[in-house]
């Protein structure tokens, strides 16, 4: 009996978006299901534009995006049902408490009330926010806000999570908690794509790493494969990343 | 060059910030040429002066003789101006206490901060003076043109009133800090500001209802009816405007003295009060658990619940809503008085209800449609944009309904036809204001509510025209003539024109 090939969580084909200049330029990218994929790239490489197009926040000029086989451009509602978006700027309401916020998010995704409440309480405990469950979010620190945004992304149990620079401004403790939660989700079968400038996070967490420059994917693979391609031996991801970007610049 | 940290240095710094802020407001942060802004401002000045000229040449001319009637009219205008100034001053003072801005930089610097706060208090007075002049200056200038340069002394009276208003406002906000603490002061002072702003005008209407049995009397006839003592304090500003040297000197002297004392007392304490206000942000607010469990339901229900929670927890919106309700109080009072009679109040009440519904609907719609603090969360949720909009609109219309349906129901007992007209008018006025907000929606934080009217001048004017237009149509309809379709059609045509030039149509067409 033939082994069934692993389905793709995300498949991008020929994706392009221009503002005053091309931001994403014919991007092809695949994220296998159940993997933690990290997208790296220098400033202006097109990472955030790509993530926003996948999340349905930006319309591409051309190309195709499918999430677990669902055409995200033809049927965005179906695609949104199975994914979650977390940006570096937590999307909260200052006048709501964490429990009210999670109740609202669960309502948007149509999660049954009792199930949503159990999940919300578990998530708040897990993320260390349970003592603040009935406080309004307006006074929360950046770390608390980011953890609550992550709880919001997880309360509807998405199959695919998109994270855009989720560790920006987090202290070591909050950062550790967020990493633990994400690892656990991937172990539970969830797929993640994340952009970050913190290469240590990418090195420790990613199953596969993609490197973007000038709107295109210039390298893609496991860390060892990237090292091999960069010819950087046992070098750190930072050295490997810089070497790959430099090679691309020279080639251009 | 002035020495750093000196009073003059701080004054120059504040002037520059105020100028930049004003320029930004005028150009909306764009790179429009300064010349265009100046030309626009001059055109505006010409327009308001023209209006003042038309009004003043077609009404009873002020002769300058301090007889009873003229004195009362000017005293009434001055009292209205002062209540508006006091309301605005309370708002500005509260904002100055609570705005973080550069406060931490200033308070951690070795500069003599009392000097800066002295400048800031004076700047608030100057701002209130300038804002009052937007409306007062055309009247003063035209009166001076028609009646002689001696009328220009009214500028001194307005300046004195501005200084008094700021002094009273700072004393009230300072007292609130002591009495109820920093946390509650913010909310209470906004409410007090709203009440003060409306108090004089509404008070006159109450007196009119009690004295004349209707609100439809010349506004200042009420003051005449009160048979004021010729030396009553409320007549002082009018006497000063009419050129009584003692009144003018007393008023200006009182204003300067009040401001000087306020600066002397509060400038050294301003920093401590602002720090206390800042401390509020560090204290977490516990929310009483009203619902022990999640409520579930459809995405639309979740959106409506969210909108309602946010609307009811927004102190600024609460004070704005209260303002609308305050203006409705005389109407409700009149209804109550004529509850079992057949008094012909309907023709008067119907347009008031419709206009207020349009204004309230516009404010609520901005908060629901444009003032979304988590736009990306909503955009990434599996809910169609049309459904989101519908849920938000329902939340707005429900809010308007809660306020106006009881009043319309009371009206129905007295005048069923007028109630029907009012109900229809309230719905279309609130609906039109919501539609305008939707067509001109621009993503913003809810905290930017204060600046919503500067984001699109077309939307602001359209909202005002629509509310007033529907109110006019309501007034005509209540009188039982089919001619009401004319103002109704004009409003619809205006709405169509506004939609045609709106970003929403151009985006969908593009």
Best residue in B303, B308, B376, B380 for a mutation probing chain A (most A CBs within 10 Å): B380
pLDDT at B346: 67
pLDDT at B224: 60
Q: How far is B304 from chain A (nearest CA, A)?
A: 10
Q: How far is A246 from chain B (nearest CA, A)?
A: 34
For B374, name the nearest residue in chain A, comparing CA atoms only: A91
Return the minimum-mean-pLDDT range out of A95-109, B332-346, B361-375: B332-346
pLDDT digits (tens, 9 = 90+) for B53-74: 888 777 666 666 656 677 777 8
More confident residue, A146 or B414: A146
**Across residues A45-54, what is the average pLDDT?**
93
A60 touches chain B (CB under 8 A): no
In this structure, the dihedral spanned by the alpha carbons of residues A64, A68, A71 and A76, taken in order and rounded to 10 degrees, is -110
C-beta atoms of A109 and B382 within 8 A? yes
**Across residues B20-40, what is the average pLDDT?**
69
CA A229/CA A21 separation, integer angstroms: 29
CA A100/CA B294 separation, integer angstroms: 8
> Please, which residues bridge with residue A193 across strands?
A37, A162
Q: Do the Cβ atoms of B359 and B438 come closer than 8 Å? A: no
| pLDDT above 80 for B191 | no
Burial (CB < 10 A; 0-12, 13-18, 19+), residue B53, is middle
Question: Tokens standing for B460?
Answer: 């602001």
Q: How confident is the model at residue B342 (pLDDT cuts 50, 70, 90)?
A: very low
Question: Tokens standing for A191?
Answer: 């797929």
Question: Tokens standing for A6?
Answer: 């692993």
Q: Which residues, other chains included, contact B3 with Cβ-Cβ below 8 Å and sequence gap of 6+?
A: B9
Q: How confident is the model at residue B24 (pLDDT cuts 50, 70, 90)?
A: confident
Across the interface, of B286, B296, B301, the residue whose CB is closest to A134 is: B286
Q: How far is A67 from chain B (nearest CA, A)?
A: 14
- The percent helix, strand, coil of chain A (3-state, each to 5) is 40, 25, 35
Q: How confident is the model at residue B337 (pLDDT cuts 50, 70, 90)?
A: low
Q: Do the Cβ atoms of B446 and B310 come closer than 8 Å? A: yes
| pLDDT above 50 for A3 | no
Give B-chain residues touching A56 at CB under 8 angstroms: 379-380
With tokens 């055309």, the residue in question is B138
CA B409/CA B417 separation, integer angstroms: 11
Return the minimum-mean-pLDDT range out of B26-30, B87-91, B291-295: B26-30
**Across residues B455-481, what is the average pLDDT?**
84
**Percent of chain B residues past pLDDT 70, beyond the cut:** 77
Across the interface, of A83, A87, A107, the residue whose CB is closest to B301 is: A107
| CB atoms near residue B468 (< 10 Å) | 18
Q: How far is B294 from chain A (nearest CA, A)?
A: 5
pLDDT digits (tens, 9 = 90+) for A71-111: 999 999 999 999 999 988 888 888 889 999 999 999 889 89
C-beta atoms of A135 and B373 within 8 A? no
Q: Do the Cβ atoms of B317 and B194 come closer than 8 Å? A: no
Q: What is the 3-state secondary structure (H, E, C) of B194-230?
A: HHHHHHHHHHHHHHHHHHHCCCCCCCCHHHHHCCCCC
Burial (CB < 10 A; 0-12, 13-18, 19+), residue B366, is buried
More confident residue, A20 or A37: A37
With tokens 């200038």, the residue in question is B141
Q: Which residues, other chains included, contact B120 with Cβ-Cβ below 8 Å and sequence gap of 6+?
A: B14, B96, B270
pTM of the predicted protein model = 0.70
C-beta atoms of B285 and A109 within 8 A? no
A134 touches chain B (CB under 8 A): yes
pLDDT at B440: 86
Structural element, H or E, at residue B492: helix B485-501
Q: How far is A27 from chain B (nearest CA, A)?
A: 22
- Strongest mean pLDDT among A157-161, A219-223, B71-75: A157-161
A246 touches chain B (CB under 8 A): no
Q: DSSP secondary-structure letter at A139? A: G
| pLDDT above 70 for A186 | yes
User: Strands A62-67 and A70-71: what pairing?
Assistant: antiparallel
Query: What's the distance, CA A207 to chain centroid?
Result: 13
For B385, name the nearest residue in chain A, comparing CA atoms only: A77
| CB atoms near residue B100 (< 10 Å) | 11
- Grouping H, G, I as helix, E, B as strand and the rest as coil, residue A83 is strand
Single out the residue of B186, B198, B170 nearest to residue B315, CA to CA: B186
Give B-chain residues touching A152 at CB under 8 angstroms: 377
Burial (CB < 10 A; 0-12, 13-18, 19+), residue A192, is buried
CA B80/CA B86 separation, integer angstroms: 10
Across the interface, of B295, B380, B383, the residue whose CB is closest to A113 is: B295
Question: Tokens standing for B381?
Answer: 């949720």
| pLDDT above 90 for A142 | no
Question: Tokens standing for B370?
Answer: 């444009």
Return the minimum-mean-pLDDT range out of A71-85, B222-236, B416-430, B448-462: B222-236
A75 touches chain B (CB under 8 A): no
Question: DSSP assignment of B294-320, as one string?
Answer: -----HHHHHHHHHHHHHHT-HHHHHH
pLDDT at A210: 94
User: Strands A216-221 and A208-213: what pairing?
Assistant: antiparallel
Q: How far is B302 from chain A (nearest CA, A)?
A: 5
CA B446/CA B88 separation, integer angstroms: 20
Return the minimum-mean-pLDDT range out of B382-391, B409-418, B490-499: B409-418
CA B194/CA A85 separation, integer angstroms: 41
**Percent of chain B residues past pLDDT 90, beyond the cut:** 15
How far are the Cα atoms of A3, B239, B304, B380, B480 from residue B463, in angstroms, in the given order? 65, 39, 23, 31, 26
CA B315/CA B184 separation, integer angstroms: 10
Across the interface, of A103, A110, A132, the residue whose CB is closest to B299 is: A110
| CB atoms near residue B390 (< 10 Å) | 14
**At A71, phi and psi to the nearest 5?**
-70, 105
pLDDT at B361: 87
Single out the residue of A111, A94, A195 nearest to residue A153, CA to CA: A111
pLDDT at B228: 59
pLDDT at A1: 42
| pLDDT above 90 for A13 | yes
Q: How far is A4 from chain B (nearest CA, A)?
A: 30
Question: Tokens standing for B148?
Answer: 């002689």
Across the interface, of A84, A87, A116, the residue whose CB is closest to B294 is: A116
For B387, name the nearest residue in chain A, comparing CA atoms only: A108
Question: Tokens standing for A249?
Answer: 């610049």
CA B334/CA B217 separation, integer angstroms: 13
pLDDT digits (tens, 9 = 90+) for B426-447: 999 999 999 998 888 877 777 6
For A88, name the nearest residue in chain B, comparing CA atoms only: B376
Across the interface, of A56, A107, A132, the residue whose CB is closest to B284 is: A132
Q: DSSP secondary-structure letter at A131? A: G
The per-residue pLDDT of chain A, averaged, comes to 89
For A141, name the nearest residue in chain B, comparing CA atoms only: B282
**Percent of chain A residues past pLDDT 70, beyond the cut:** 97
For A161, name the nearest residue in chain B, comparing CA atoms only: B380
pLDDT digits (tens, 9 = 90+) for B90-99: 888 888 877 7
Q: How confident is the model at residue A46 (pLDDT cuts 50, 70, 90)?
A: very high
In this structure, the dihedral spanned by the alpha carbons of residues B434, B438, B439 and B442, taken in order and rounded to 10 degrees, is 130
With tokens 């534009």, the residue in question is A49
C-beta atoms of A116 and B296 within 8 A? yes
Single out the residue of B500, B475, B479 nearest to residue B487, CA to CA: B475
The arrangement of strands across the sheet holding A208-213 comes to A83-86, A160-164, A191-195, A36-40, A208-213, A216-221
CA B202/CA B215 separation, integer angstroms: 10
Q: What was the ipTM of the complex prediction?
A: 0.81
**Percent of chain A residues past pLDDT 90, beyond the cut:** 56
């Amino acid at each position: 009996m033939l082994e069934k090939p692993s389905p793709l969580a995300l498949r991008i084909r020929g994706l392009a978006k221009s503002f005053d200049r091309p931001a994403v330029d014919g991007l092809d990218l695949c994220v296998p299901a159940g993997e933690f994929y990290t997208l790296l790239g220098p400033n202006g490489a097109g990472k955030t534009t790509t993530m926003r197009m996948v999340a349905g926040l930006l319309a591409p000029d051309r190309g195709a995006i499918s999430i677990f086989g669902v055409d995200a451009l033809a049927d965005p509602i179906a695609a949104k049902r199975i994914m979650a978006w977390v940006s570096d700027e937590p999307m909260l309401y200052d006048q709501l408490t964490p429990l009210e916020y999670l109740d609202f998010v669960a309502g948007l995704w149509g999660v049954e009330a009792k199930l949503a409440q159990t999940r919300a309480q578990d998530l708040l405990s897990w993320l260390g926010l349970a003592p603040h469950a009935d406080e309004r979010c307006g006074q929360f620190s950046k770390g608390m806000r980011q953890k609550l945004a992550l709880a919001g992304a997880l309360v509807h149990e998405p199959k695919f999570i998109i994270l855009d620079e989720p560790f920006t401004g987090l202290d070591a403790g909050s950062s550790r908690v967020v990493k633990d939660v994400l690892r656990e989700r991937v172990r539970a079968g969830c797929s993640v794509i994340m952009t970050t400038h913190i290469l240590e996070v990418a090195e420790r967490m990613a199953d596969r790493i993609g490197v973007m420059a000038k709107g295109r994917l210039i390298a893609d693979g496991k860390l060892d494969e990237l090292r091999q391609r960069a010819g950087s031996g046992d070098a750190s991801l930072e050295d490997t990343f810089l070497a790959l970007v430099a090679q691309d610049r020279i080639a251009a | 060059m002035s020495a750093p940290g000196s009073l003059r240095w701080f004054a120059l710094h504040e002037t520059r910030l105020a100028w930049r802020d004003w320029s930004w407001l005028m150009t909306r942060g764009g790179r429009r040429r300064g010349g265009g802004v100046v030309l626009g401002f001059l055109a505006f000045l010409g327009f308001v002066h023209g209006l003042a000229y038309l009004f003043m040449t077609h009404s009873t001319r002020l002769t300058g003789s301090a007889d009873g009637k003229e004195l009362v009219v000017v005293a009434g205008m001055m009292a209205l101006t002062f209540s508006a100034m006091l309301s605005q001053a309370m708002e500005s003072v509260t904002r100055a206490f609570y705005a973080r801005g550069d406060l931490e930089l200033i308070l951690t610097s070795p500069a003599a901060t009392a000097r800066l706060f002295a400048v800031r208090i004076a700047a608030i007075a100057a701002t209130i003076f300038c804002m009052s002049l937007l409306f007062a200056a055309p009247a003063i200038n035209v009166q001076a043109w028609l009646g002689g340069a001696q009328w220009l002394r009214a500028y001194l009276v307005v300046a004195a009133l501005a200084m008094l208003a700021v002094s009273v406002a700072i004393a009230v906000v300072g007292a609130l800090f002591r009495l109820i603490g920093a946390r509650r002061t913010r909310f209470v002072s906004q409410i007090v500001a709203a009440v003060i702003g409306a108090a004089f005008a509404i008070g006159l209407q109450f007196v009119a209802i009690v004295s004349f049995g209707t609100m439809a009397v010349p506004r200042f006839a009420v003051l005449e009816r009160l048979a004021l003592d010729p030396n009553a304090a409320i007549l002082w500003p009018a006497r000063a405007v009419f050129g009584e040297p003692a009144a003018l000197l007393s008023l200006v002297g009182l204003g300067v003295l009040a401001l000087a004392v306020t600066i002397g007392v509060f400038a050294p304490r301003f920093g401590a009060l602002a720090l206390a206000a800042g401390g509020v942000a560090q204290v977490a607010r516990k929310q009483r658990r009203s619902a022990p469990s999640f409520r579930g339901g459809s995405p639309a229900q979740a959106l409506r619940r969210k909108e309602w929670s946010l609307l009811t927890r927004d102190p600024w919106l609460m004070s704005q809503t209260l303002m609308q309700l305050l203006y409705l109080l005389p109407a409700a009072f009149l209804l109550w008085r004529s509850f079992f009679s057949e008094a012909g109040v309907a023709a008067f009440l119907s347009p008031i209800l419709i206009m207020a519904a349009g204004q309230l609907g516009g404010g609520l719609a901005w908060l629901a449609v444009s003032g979304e603090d988590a736009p990306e969360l909503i955009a990434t949720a599996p809910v169609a944009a049309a459904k989101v909009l519908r849920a938000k609109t329902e939340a707005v219309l429900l809010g308007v309904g809660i306020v106006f349906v009881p009043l319309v129901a009371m009206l129905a007992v007295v005048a069923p036809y007028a109630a029907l007209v009012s109900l229809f008018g309230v719905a279309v006025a609130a609906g039109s204001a919501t539609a305008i907000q939707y067509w001109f929606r621009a993503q913003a934080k809810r905290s930017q509510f204060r600046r919503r009217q500067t984001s699109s001048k077309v939307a602001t004017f359209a909202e005002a025209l629509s509310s007033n237009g529907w109110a006019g149509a309501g007034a005509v309809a209540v009188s039982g003539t089919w001619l009401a379709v004319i103002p109704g059609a004009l409003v619809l045509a205006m709405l169509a024109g506004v939609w045609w030039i709106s970003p929403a149509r151009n985006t969908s067409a593009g």
